[in-house]
Amino acid sequence: MVRTRFAPSPTGYLHIGGARTALFSWAYARKHKGTFILRVEDTDLERSTEESVQAILDGMAWLGLGYDEGPFYQMQRMERYKAVLQQLLDEGKAYHCYASREELDKLREEQQAAGLKPRYDRRWRDSIATPPAGVQPVIRFKNPLDGAVVIDDMVKGRVVVSNGELDDLIIARSDGTPTYNFCVVVDDWDMNITHVIRGDDHLNNTPRQINILKALNAPLPQYAHVPMILGHDGERLSKRHGAVSVMQYLEDGYLPEALLNYLARLGWAHGDEEVFDLDQFVEWFDLDSISKSPAKFNPEKLLWLNQQYLKKTDSKRLSKLVVPFLETDCCDPETGPSMEAVIDLLKERVNTVEELADAAVYFYRPLTPSPELMAEHLTPEIIPVVREFQEKLGQVEWNKPSINSLMKSVVAEHGLKFPKLAMPLRLLVTGETQTPSVDAVLELIGREETLKRISAHMKSFA
């Protein structure tokens, strides 16, 4: 059975690159009816935080990437790691190294001065010297001295690394804490991981991890190293490119399915398909369709995708998403028109839930138009026309066709074009010049509130 895992370090938020790795790992397991595991690699005690753990869990939940097992925490598996460390020591496949920091620094300086690649010289590998007193040793893995590691990577193809290029990796620090590369190996072994799908920044670790797995007589998973995501300028993705926490996209009004759709297309493609749901993605997804080249993050494309999803998202669901934004903007959604009706009117015109909420504000509280716009559109010529419309509006049947008919009748009577009345009405009722059809807006705001807003502003023209 296929078993994949997503194994983030809780040293920050769940970012775009991590979310894509999680998506690909999740999709591969779903495609092959396998198991997807969440593992939190929290051995970096200085940088790991509970807040970061929660940010990862929240991000996975919001994206809807459910895991079948976990979350597992490495810090809860210390006894298991220590037992495997002892096994390697007992079998002569690892050893204690007593080299001090000063010795290693001197060695590095000498190697650099000689034009050599800095690496540990294995001075304690087979040493029979008496250990220095008072020194807490690290544990190093006895990397094979000959041969090569061959990785048949499911994305990059065959990668061959000579063992002569690899030094004896530290697998436990002087305080006894196992290191990342060692914990990963034991976890993948114990959890029967069959496919390791991760960013290609881990490719340098893979030969070391394979050698440790072989020393433990453990089965080797298949590896798939996914090229990194770059900014639009070709540089490594960073905050300045918009590479923020996945949860920031929630706060900015993006839909999770839009973000997932976009992440799926970062380095993977199925023909020319641009908009597709998760079920379609799982059906189409396979590792051999992943590009070998880095993908470029395009915020404008993500925004466009989000707009496509907003248009077809049920207004009842959008209502629940819009309410928190409106409440932050001092609106009480209970006091205005039907939220679903407002969203039906507006959702074709916006890109995000946040923009949708901004566009809906005037339905739930009056906005004050700028004096400049009032002076531009409420001219002495048009004020009497607005007053006449105001008087007749109190008597008309309150629906869009009747309001539209009245507007056309009034402008025709005065020999004006429709916008000459529509624009001032927009300003008086909504405080803005860009809205959907003004008759539809007035219908939703309601007769009483509409007349109240018009009267409030027309008093200044008495």
Q: Is the peptide bond before 401 cis (omega within 30 degrees of 0)?
A: no
Query: Please, what is the end-to-end C-alpha distance for the chain in angstroms?
Result: 80
Closest CA to 393 of 349, 340, 448, 345: 448
In this structure, are residues 203 and 14 in contact, taking their beta carbons and an 8 Å threshold? no
Residue for token pair 């609106």: 331
Token pair, residue 116, equals: 């050599």
**Residue 71: is the preceding peptide bond cis (ω within 30°)?**
yes
Q: Angle at CA 178, nearest 5°, toward 175 and 179? A: 110
- To the query of whether residue 320 is one of the catalytic residues in this protein, the response is no
For residue 191, the tally of other CB atoms under 10 A from its CB is 18
Structural contact between residues 185 and 219, judged by C-beta atoms closer than 8 angstroms: no
Could you say which of 239, 292, 320, 452 is catalytic?
239
- Cβ neighbours around 367 below 10 Å, total: 12
Strand pairing partners for 4? 36, 195
For 211-255, give the DSSP string. HHHHHTTPPPPEEEEEPPEE-TTSSBP-GGGT---HHHHHHTT--
Rounded Cα distance between 227 and 229, Å, is: 7
354, 360, 361, 364: CA torsion to nearest 10:
-140
Cβ atoms of 97 and 138 within 8 Å: the answer is yes
Helices then strands (H, E): number in the chain? 19, 12
Active site residues: 239
